[in-house]
Amino acid sequence: MKLGVNIDHIATLRQARKGVEPDPVHAAVYCEMAGADGITVHLRGDRRHIQIRDVEVLKKAVSTRLNIEMAATSEMVEIAAGVQPWQVTLVPERPNEVTTEGGLDVVINAAHLAQTVSRLSSHNIRVSLFVDPSLDNVRSAHKVGAQAVEINTNAYATARTEPDRVQALRAVDDAAKMAHKLGLGVLAGHALNYRNVGPIADMKLIEELNIGHALIARAVFVGLERAVAEMRALIR
Ligand code: PXP
């Protein structure tokens, strides 16, 4: 299973002073040196952490795979077309949310998403949709032309009781099986950490995990390379 490291929080720290350090580009290099298989950044409409300059320089600096999370807007499609990342992950975005709050409702937004996927695909960009683990979402992702889905693991990660956790885990597994059956790439992520990643990492159909907050939080104490290497060891 591959590990994609979300380095948004490096940029969050830089933006606290609106300066130049720490630089997410440096972080990407350290992550790759420690064995990350990919680098993920979320370019938000409000530019609260990652900036356009970051995605432009990351595109040149990243030697693994650059995955840009973004909302399905015309502005973002244009930026992606210019940067040409390996993959775009479309996510819902609410202006004042602390982090992405859930997956896309692919069923309700099918027409708009189909148009966005088609525009990105015409620029040869692979498109993944961030979805909650429901079979309808996965089927719709396939219908609108996405090449992959990233299954939201938040319900699993934040479940308070064992039955809820087991149910949420099963939902992720079912969604992964459906996505695989439809020929979609299968990724997962959100709220995964060193303690809860194990059962998700055991799901053989999931190709890649995107992990940010827990990993960068640990890096504050043990360093980025060690934090990445430890997570990588856990998911392999
Ligand atoms: N996947 C998606 C689509 C996300 O929006 C995020 C958060 O930016 C992540 C994965 C990583 O989540 P976390 O920071 O909780 O590991």
Q: Give the CATH architecture of domain 2-235.
A: Alpha-Beta Barrel (3.20)
Angle CA 183–113–144, to nearest 5: 30
How far, in Å, from the CA of 117 to the mean position of ligand 1? 20
As a whole number of angstroms, the distance between CA 181 and CA 194 comes to 29
Cβ–Cβ under 8 Å, residues 80 and 88:
yes
Interval 86-95 mean pLDDT:
94
How far, in Å, from the CA of 153 to the mean position of ligand 1? 9
123 is catalytic: no
The band of 14, judged by pLDDT with boundaries at 50, 70 and 90, is very high
Query: Which residue among the candidates 69, 93, 150, 208 is catalytic per the annotation?
Result: 69
How far, in Å, from the CA of 41 to the mean position of ligand 1? 9
99, 156, 194: residue to mutate for ligand 1 pocket, most atoms within 8 A of CB = 99
Residue 96 has pLDDT above 90, yes or no: no
As a whole number of angstroms, the distance between CA 217 and CA 211 comes to 11
Residue 97 has pLDDT above 90, yes or no: no
Cβ–Cβ under 8 Å, residues 116 and 141:
no
Query: What are the extents of the domains in the chain?
Result: 2-235
Half-sphere exposure of 45 (CA within 13 A, CB side): 15
**Tokens 């934090």 belong to which residue?**
227
Q: Long-range contacts: 27-33, Cβ < 8 Å, 24+?
A: 27/224, 28/58, 28/61, 28/62, 29/61, 30/224, 30/225, 30/228, 31/5, 31/7, 31/224, 31/225, 31/228, 32/62, 32/63, 32/64, 33/225
How far, in Å, from the CA of 191 to the mean position of ligand 1? 7
Q: Is the CB of 44 under 6 A from ligand 1?
A: no
Structure confidence by residue, pLDDT tens digits, 176-192:
999 999 999 999 999 99
**Tokens 């990351």 belong to which residue?**
58
Residue 169 has pLDDT above 90, yes or no: yes
As a whole number of angstroms, the distance between CA 143 and CA 141 comes to 5
225 is catalytic: no
Q: Is the CB of 32 under 6 A from ligand 1?
A: no
Cα separation values, 228 from 14, 34, 35, 217, Å = 20, 6, 7, 11
Q: Which DSSP category does 21 fall into? A: -
- At 90 the pLDDT is 98
- Nearest-atom number in ligand 1 for the CA of 9 is 14
The band of 99, judged by pLDDT with boundaries at 50, 70 and 90, is confident
Q: Is the CB of 194 under 6 A from ligand 1?
A: no
The band of 66, judged by pLDDT with boundaries at 50, 70 and 90, is very high
- Nearest-atom number in ligand 1 for the CA of 189 is 10
Q: Which residues pair with 128 in a beta bridge?
A: 89, 148
